[in-house]
Amino acid sequence: MKTIFSPIQLKHQGQFEFYNGAVVEGYENTSRATFITSRIEEVGLGPVLNPRPQSLDTARRIHSPAYLDFIASAWRLWRDAGRTGTALPYAWPARGRYKDVTPDSIDALLGQYSIDASTGFVEGTWEAVKASHDAAVTAADLIIKGEQACFALCRPPGHHAGTDFNGGYCFVNNAAVAAQRLLDAGASRVTILDIDYHHGNGTQEIFYARGDVQVVSLHADPRNDYPFFAGYADERGSGGGEGFNINIPLPHGTDWAQWEGALEFALGSVRQFGPDVVVISHGVDTFEGDPISRFRLSHDHFPLIGAQLAGLGTKTLFVLEGGYAVEDVGINVVGVLSGYEDAI
Protein backbone atom coordinates (compact mmCIF):
# COMPACT_ATOMS: atom_id res chain seq x y z
CA MET A 1 0.00 0.00 0.00
CA LYS A 2 1.24 3.47 -0.87
CA THR A 3 1.54 6.11 1.84
CA ILE A 4 1.33 9.82 1.05
CA PHE A 5 3.22 12.14 3.38
CA SER A 6 5.33 15.30 3.17
CA PRO A 7 8.01 16.42 5.66
CA ILE A 8 6.39 19.88 5.36
CA GLN A 9 3.67 18.43 7.62
CA LEU A 10 6.24 18.49 10.44
CA LYS A 11 6.34 22.31 10.37
CA HIS A 12 3.36 22.46 12.72
CA GLN A 13 5.46 21.97 15.83
CA GLY A 14 6.15 23.39 19.26
CA GLN A 15 2.50 24.36 19.86
CA PHE A 16 1.07 24.37 23.36
CA GLU A 17 -2.33 23.40 24.74
CA PHE A 18 -4.04 23.40 28.12
CA TYR A 19 -4.08 20.23 30.16
CA ASN A 20 -5.00 19.71 33.78
CA GLY A 21 -4.89 23.41 34.52
CA ALA A 22 -1.49 23.96 32.95
CA VAL A 23 0.06 24.78 29.63
CA VAL A 24 1.74 21.70 28.15
CA GLU A 25 3.34 20.75 24.82
CA GLY A 26 0.76 19.65 22.26
CA TYR A 27 -0.11 15.94 22.31
CA GLU A 28 -0.50 16.07 18.56
CA ASN A 29 3.25 16.23 17.88
CA THR A 30 5.64 15.56 15.02
CA SER A 31 6.99 12.30 16.45
CA ARG A 32 3.61 10.69 15.84
CA ALA A 33 4.31 10.97 12.11
CA THR A 34 7.95 9.93 12.27
CA PHE A 35 7.13 6.81 14.30
CA ILE A 36 4.60 5.89 11.61
CA THR A 37 6.99 6.35 8.67
CA SER A 38 9.70 4.35 10.51
CA ARG A 39 7.28 1.54 11.12
CA ILE A 40 6.15 1.57 7.48
CA GLU A 41 9.79 1.07 6.43
CA GLU A 42 10.41 -1.54 9.11
CA VAL A 43 7.55 -3.78 7.95
CA GLY A 44 7.87 -2.93 4.24
CA LEU A 45 4.29 -1.74 3.84
CA GLY A 46 5.15 0.10 0.62
CA PRO A 47 6.58 3.41 -0.61
CA VAL A 48 6.11 6.73 1.18
CA LEU A 49 5.44 9.29 -1.55
CA ASN A 50 5.22 13.06 -1.50
CA PRO A 51 1.83 14.62 -2.12
CA ARG A 52 1.33 16.67 -5.28
CA PRO A 53 0.64 20.35 -4.59
CA GLN A 54 -3.14 20.79 -4.83
CA SER A 55 -5.49 23.73 -5.19
CA LEU A 56 -8.03 24.40 -2.43
CA ASP A 57 -10.98 24.12 -4.83
CA THR A 58 -12.30 20.89 -3.30
CA ALA A 59 -11.71 22.17 0.24
CA ARG A 60 -13.80 25.27 -0.62
CA ARG A 61 -16.74 22.95 -1.33
CA ILE A 62 -16.80 21.73 2.27
CA HIS A 63 -15.27 24.61 4.25
CA SER A 64 -16.38 28.23 4.00
CA PRO A 65 -13.91 30.33 2.00
CA ALA A 66 -13.80 32.86 4.88
CA TYR A 67 -12.73 30.11 7.28
CA LEU A 68 -10.02 28.85 4.92
CA ASP A 69 -8.75 32.41 4.47
CA PHE A 70 -8.65 32.81 8.24
CA ILE A 71 -6.66 29.65 8.96
CA ALA A 72 -4.24 30.54 6.17
CA SER A 73 -3.61 33.97 7.71
CA ALA A 74 -4.09 33.40 11.47
CA TRP A 75 -0.41 33.17 12.32
CA ARG A 76 0.44 36.31 10.35
CA LEU A 77 -2.38 38.25 12.07
CA TRP A 78 -1.17 37.00 15.44
CA ARG A 79 2.44 37.95 14.72
CA ASP A 80 1.44 41.35 13.27
CA ALA A 81 -0.42 42.06 16.50
CA GLY A 82 2.94 41.65 18.23
CA ARG A 83 2.12 38.30 19.83
CA THR A 84 4.46 35.43 20.53
CA GLY A 85 3.80 31.86 21.64
CA THR A 86 0.97 29.69 20.34
CA ALA A 87 -2.05 31.51 18.86
CA LEU A 88 -4.96 30.21 20.96
CA PRO A 89 -8.45 31.60 21.58
CA TYR A 90 -9.77 32.61 24.98
CA ALA A 91 -13.17 34.08 24.03
CA TRP A 92 -16.01 32.53 22.03
CA PRO A 93 -19.38 33.87 20.82
CA ALA A 94 -21.67 32.87 23.68
CA ARG A 95 -24.70 30.71 22.93
CA GLY A 96 -27.87 32.73 22.54
CA ARG A 97 -25.99 36.01 22.80
CA TYR A 98 -24.30 35.89 19.46
CA LYS A 99 -24.18 39.14 17.56
CA ASP A 100 -23.54 38.52 13.89
CA VAL A 101 -20.44 40.64 13.61
CA THR A 102 -16.91 39.90 12.50
CA PRO A 103 -14.62 41.72 14.89
CA ASP A 104 -11.13 42.72 13.77
CA SER A 105 -9.14 41.44 16.71
CA ILE A 106 -7.15 38.26 16.17
CA ASP A 107 -8.38 37.13 19.61
CA ALA A 108 -11.99 37.44 18.45
CA LEU A 109 -11.30 35.66 15.16
CA LEU A 110 -9.57 32.77 16.91
CA GLY A 111 -12.73 32.31 19.01
CA GLN A 112 -15.12 32.81 16.11
CA TYR A 113 -13.50 30.09 14.02
CA SER A 114 -12.92 27.46 16.73
CA ILE A 115 -14.72 25.20 19.17
CA ASP A 116 -11.98 24.77 21.77
CA ALA A 117 -8.54 25.86 22.96
CA SER A 118 -6.60 22.77 21.91
CA THR A 119 -5.98 23.81 18.32
CA GLY A 120 -3.21 26.39 18.32
CA PHE A 121 -1.36 28.04 15.46
CA VAL A 122 2.41 28.38 15.28
CA GLU A 123 4.59 29.71 12.47
CA GLY A 124 4.52 26.57 10.31
CA THR A 125 0.92 25.57 10.97
CA TRP A 126 -0.68 26.63 7.71
CA GLU A 127 2.08 25.12 5.56
CA ALA A 128 1.70 21.84 7.43
CA VAL A 129 -2.10 21.91 7.29
CA LYS A 130 -1.97 22.58 3.54
CA ALA A 131 0.51 19.71 3.00
CA SER A 132 -1.68 17.38 5.10
CA HIS A 133 -4.65 18.37 2.92
CA ASP A 134 -2.53 17.75 -0.20
CA ALA A 135 -1.71 14.26 1.09
CA ALA A 136 -5.42 13.44 1.41
CA VAL A 137 -6.25 14.78 -2.06
CA THR A 138 -3.28 13.00 -3.66
CA ALA A 139 -4.30 9.72 -2.01
CA ALA A 140 -7.89 10.17 -3.23
CA ASP A 141 -6.57 10.72 -6.75
CA LEU A 142 -4.61 7.46 -6.54
CA ILE A 143 -7.80 5.63 -5.62
CA ILE A 144 -9.56 7.32 -8.54
CA LYS A 145 -6.74 6.11 -10.82
CA GLY A 146 -7.32 2.53 -9.71
CA GLU A 147 -5.48 1.76 -6.45
CA GLN A 148 -7.50 -0.57 -4.23
CA ALA A 149 -6.24 1.10 -1.05
CA CYS A 150 -4.02 4.01 -0.04
CA PHE A 151 -2.87 5.66 3.19
CA ALA A 152 -2.88 9.45 3.60
CA LEU A 153 -0.58 10.10 6.57
CA CYS A 154 -2.37 13.30 7.53
CA ARG A 155 -1.14 15.35 10.43
CA PRO A 156 -2.42 17.70 11.55
CA PRO A 157 -5.56 15.51 11.62
CA GLY A 158 -8.99 16.61 10.40
CA HIS A 159 -12.16 15.03 11.76
CA HIS A 160 -13.03 17.73 14.33
CA ALA A 161 -12.80 20.53 11.75
CA GLY A 162 -16.19 21.59 10.38
CA THR A 163 -17.50 23.98 7.75
CA ASP A 164 -16.14 27.04 9.56
CA PHE A 165 -14.40 25.89 12.72
CA ASN A 166 -11.22 24.26 13.90
CA GLY A 167 -10.98 22.09 17.01
CA GLY A 168 -9.40 19.00 18.52
CA TYR A 169 -6.01 19.59 16.82
CA CYS A 170 -7.81 19.75 13.42
CA PHE A 171 -7.87 22.61 10.88
CA VAL A 172 -8.88 21.18 7.49
CA ASN A 173 -11.09 18.09 7.43
CA ASN A 174 -8.82 15.90 5.32
CA ALA A 175 -11.21 12.91 5.16
CA ALA A 176 -14.10 15.16 4.12
CA VAL A 177 -12.03 16.80 1.37
CA ALA A 178 -10.99 13.34 0.13
CA ALA A 179 -14.62 12.18 0.09
CA GLN A 180 -15.69 15.26 -1.87
CA ARG A 181 -12.83 14.70 -4.31
CA LEU A 182 -13.98 11.10 -4.90
CA LEU A 183 -17.56 12.25 -5.53
CA ASP A 184 -16.43 14.98 -7.93
CA ALA A 185 -14.46 12.34 -9.85
CA GLY A 186 -17.58 10.26 -10.36
CA ALA A 187 -18.20 8.17 -7.23
CA SER A 188 -21.93 8.19 -6.47
CA ARG A 189 -21.70 7.27 -2.78
CA VAL A 190 -18.85 7.46 -0.27
CA THR A 191 -18.81 6.28 3.33
CA ILE A 192 -16.60 7.87 5.96
CA LEU A 193 -16.12 5.30 8.70
CA ASP A 194 -14.47 6.94 11.72
CA ILE A 195 -12.69 4.53 14.07
CA ASP A 196 -10.84 7.20 16.09
CA TYR A 197 -11.57 7.22 19.84
CA HIS A 198 -13.22 10.64 19.57
CA HIS A 199 -16.41 11.48 17.72
CA GLY A 200 -15.71 13.15 14.36
CA ASN A 201 -18.01 16.09 14.96
CA GLY A 202 -16.59 18.11 12.07
CA THR A 203 -17.23 15.35 9.54
CA GLN A 204 -20.75 14.88 10.93
CA GLU A 205 -21.51 18.60 10.66
CA ILE A 206 -20.20 18.90 7.09
CA PHE A 207 -22.29 16.03 5.69
CA TYR A 208 -25.27 16.09 8.07
CA ALA A 209 -27.87 17.00 5.45
CA ARG A 210 -26.34 15.00 2.59
CA GLY A 211 -27.31 11.58 1.32
CA ASP A 212 -24.26 11.01 -0.88
CA VAL A 213 -21.87 10.66 2.05
CA GLN A 214 -22.66 8.21 4.81
CA VAL A 215 -20.86 9.07 8.07
CA VAL A 216 -20.46 6.24 10.59
CA SER A 217 -18.52 6.73 13.81
CA LEU A 218 -17.53 4.51 16.75
CA HIS A 219 -16.32 6.62 19.66
CA ALA A 220 -16.23 7.37 23.36
CA ASP A 221 -19.62 8.48 24.65
CA PRO A 222 -19.62 12.29 24.40
CA ARG A 223 -21.31 12.41 27.80
CA ASN A 224 -17.86 11.91 29.26
CA ASP A 225 -15.38 12.63 26.49
CA TYR A 226 -14.39 15.25 23.96
CA PRO A 227 -16.09 16.70 21.84
CA PHE A 228 -18.92 16.50 24.46
CA PHE A 229 -21.55 18.41 22.44
CA ALA A 230 -21.97 16.03 19.49
CA GLY A 231 -21.72 12.32 18.82
CA TYR A 232 -24.94 11.10 20.46
CA ALA A 233 -26.81 8.13 19.00
CA ASP A 234 -29.91 10.17 18.19
CA GLU A 235 -28.00 12.40 15.75
CA ARG A 236 -29.03 10.63 12.53
CA GLY A 237 -28.81 13.30 9.84
CA SER A 238 -31.36 15.77 8.53
CA GLY A 239 -33.40 16.30 5.34
CA GLY A 240 -31.84 14.34 2.49
CA GLY A 241 -29.20 13.14 4.93
CA GLU A 242 -31.69 11.54 7.33
CA GLY A 243 -30.45 8.08 8.32
CA PHE A 244 -27.02 8.56 6.78
CA ASN A 245 -25.29 9.69 9.98
CA ILE A 246 -24.71 6.85 12.41
CA ASN A 247 -23.15 7.34 15.86
CA ILE A 248 -22.13 4.45 18.07
CA PRO A 249 -21.07 5.85 21.47
CA LEU A 250 -19.21 3.44 23.76
CA PRO A 251 -18.39 3.68 27.48
CA HIS A 252 -15.01 4.21 29.11
CA GLY A 253 -13.25 0.87 29.52
CA THR A 254 -14.58 -0.54 26.23
CA ASP A 255 -12.53 -3.65 25.36
CA TRP A 256 -11.97 -5.52 22.10
CA ALA A 257 -15.09 -7.71 22.38
CA GLN A 258 -17.35 -4.70 22.80
CA TRP A 259 -15.53 -2.55 20.25
CA GLU A 260 -15.50 -5.30 17.66
CA GLY A 261 -19.22 -5.90 18.15
CA ALA A 262 -19.81 -2.22 17.44
CA LEU A 263 -17.56 -2.41 14.36
CA GLU A 264 -19.60 -5.32 13.00
CA PHE A 265 -22.78 -3.31 13.43
CA ALA A 266 -21.12 -0.37 11.67
CA LEU A 267 -19.94 -2.56 8.80
CA GLY A 268 -23.48 -3.89 8.37
CA SER A 269 -24.74 -0.35 7.81
CA VAL A 270 -21.90 0.35 5.38
CA ARG A 271 -22.79 -2.75 3.33
CA GLN A 272 -26.40 -1.61 3.22
CA PHE A 273 -25.36 1.82 1.93
CA GLY A 274 -23.12 0.27 -0.75
CA PRO A 275 -20.47 2.96 -1.22
CA ASP A 276 -18.06 3.05 -4.16
CA VAL A 277 -15.24 3.97 -1.76
CA VAL A 278 -14.82 3.81 2.01
CA VAL A 279 -12.74 6.53 3.66
CA ILE A 280 -11.47 5.39 7.06
CA SER A 281 -10.86 8.15 9.58
CA HIS A 282 -8.01 6.15 11.03
CA GLY A 283 -7.26 6.91 14.66
CA VAL A 284 -5.52 4.57 17.07
CA ASP A 285 -6.26 6.39 20.33
CA THR A 286 -8.49 3.39 21.16
CA PHE A 287 -5.20 1.76 22.29
CA GLU A 288 -5.02 0.83 25.99
CA GLY A 289 -1.83 2.87 26.44
CA ASP A 290 -3.17 6.10 24.95
CA PRO A 291 -2.49 9.01 27.33
CA ILE A 292 -5.77 10.91 26.69
CA SER A 293 -8.22 8.04 26.04
CA ARG A 294 -10.02 5.27 27.93
CA PHE A 295 -10.57 2.23 25.70
CA ARG A 296 -8.64 -1.03 26.01
CA LEU A 297 -7.54 -2.25 22.59
CA SER A 298 -4.09 -3.87 22.52
CA HIS A 299 -1.45 -4.19 19.77
CA ASP A 300 -2.85 -7.49 18.46
CA HIS A 301 -6.28 -6.06 17.81
CA PHE A 302 -5.29 -3.50 15.18
CA PRO A 303 -4.47 -6.01 12.39
CA LEU A 304 -7.86 -7.62 13.09
CA ILE A 305 -9.52 -4.26 12.39
CA GLY A 306 -7.70 -4.10 9.05
CA ALA A 307 -8.90 -7.60 8.16
CA GLN A 308 -12.51 -6.70 9.00
CA LEU A 309 -12.30 -3.61 6.80
CA ALA A 310 -10.86 -5.65 3.93
CA GLY A 311 -13.93 -7.89 4.24
CA LEU A 312 -16.04 -5.05 2.84
CA GLY A 313 -14.37 -5.64 -0.52
CA THR A 314 -14.58 -1.91 -1.26
CA LYS A 315 -11.82 0.49 -2.31
CA THR A 316 -10.45 1.98 0.87
CA LEU A 317 -8.72 5.26 1.60
CA PHE A 318 -7.16 5.44 5.07
CA VAL A 319 -6.78 8.99 6.41
CA LEU A 320 -4.86 9.46 9.66
CA GLU A 321 -6.61 11.04 12.64
CA GLY A 322 -5.53 10.60 16.30
CA GLY A 323 -3.37 8.38 18.51
CA TYR A 324 -1.00 9.84 21.09
CA ALA A 325 0.95 6.98 22.67
CA VAL A 326 3.73 7.98 20.29
CA GLU A 327 5.96 4.89 20.25
CA ASP A 328 2.91 2.68 19.81
CA VAL A 329 1.18 4.83 17.21
CA GLY A 330 3.42 3.48 14.45
CA ILE A 331 2.79 -0.14 15.45
CA ASN A 332 -0.96 0.34 15.69
CA VAL A 333 -1.52 2.52 12.62
CA VAL A 334 0.56 0.21 10.44
CA GLY A 335 -1.01 -2.81 12.16
CA VAL A 336 -4.40 -1.89 10.69
CA LEU A 337 -2.91 -1.30 7.24
CA SER A 338 -0.95 -4.58 7.23
CA GLY A 339 -3.98 -6.46 8.50
CA TYR A 340 -5.95 -5.00 5.60
CA GLU A 341 -3.25 -5.92 3.03
CA ASP A 342 -2.88 -9.47 4.37
CA ALA A 343 -6.63 -10.06 4.14
CA ILE A 344 -7.28 -8.55 0.72
Catalytic residues, which ones? Answer: 160
By beta-carbon proximity to Zn ion, the closer residue of 168 and 241 is 168
CA dihedral 305, 311, 314, 317 (to 10 degrees): 10
Distance between CA atoms of 134 and 121, rounded to whole angstroms? 19
Rule CB under 6 A: say whether 226 interacts with ligand OKP: yes
Q: How far is the CB of 49 from ligand OKP (least distance, A)?
A: 25
Distance between CA atoms of 320 and 5, rounded to whole angstroms? 11
Q: Work out what residue 98 binds among ligand OKP, Zn ion, none; the CB cut-off runs from 5 to 8 Å by kind.
A: none
Q: Work out what residue 202 binds among ligand OKP, Zn ion, none; the CB cut-off runs from 5 to 8 Å by kind.
A: none
Rule CB under 6 A: say whether 322 interacts with ligand OKP: yes
Q: How far is the CB of 168 from Zn ion (least distance, A)?
A: 7
Give the footprint of ligand OKP on residues 151-170 (CB under 6 A): 157, 159-160, 168-169
Task: Please select the residue that binds Zn ion; options are 28, 107, 116, 196, rule is CB under 5 A.
Answer: 196
Rule CB under 6 A: say whether 19 interacts with ligand OKP: yes
Tell me the window of 14-22, 126-134, 145-153, 228-236 that interacts with ligand OKP (CB under 6 A).
14-22
| Residue 316 DSSP SS3 | strand
Q: How far is the CB of 282 from Zn ion (least distance, A)?
A: 10
Distance between CA atoms of 199 and 219, rounded to whole angstroms? 5
Closest of 210, 155, 153, 201 to residue 179, by C-alpha: 210
Q: Burial, 330: exposed, middle or buried (Cβ in 10 Å; 0-12, 13-18, 19+)?
A: buried
Q: What is the DSSP string of 136-187?
A: HHHHHHHHHTT-SEEEE--SS--TT-BTTBBBTTBSS-HHHHHHHHHHHTT-
Q: How far is the CB of 218 from Zn ion (least distance, A)?
A: 11
Please report, as ranges, the residues that interact with Zn ion according to CB under 5 A: 196-198, 283, 285, 322
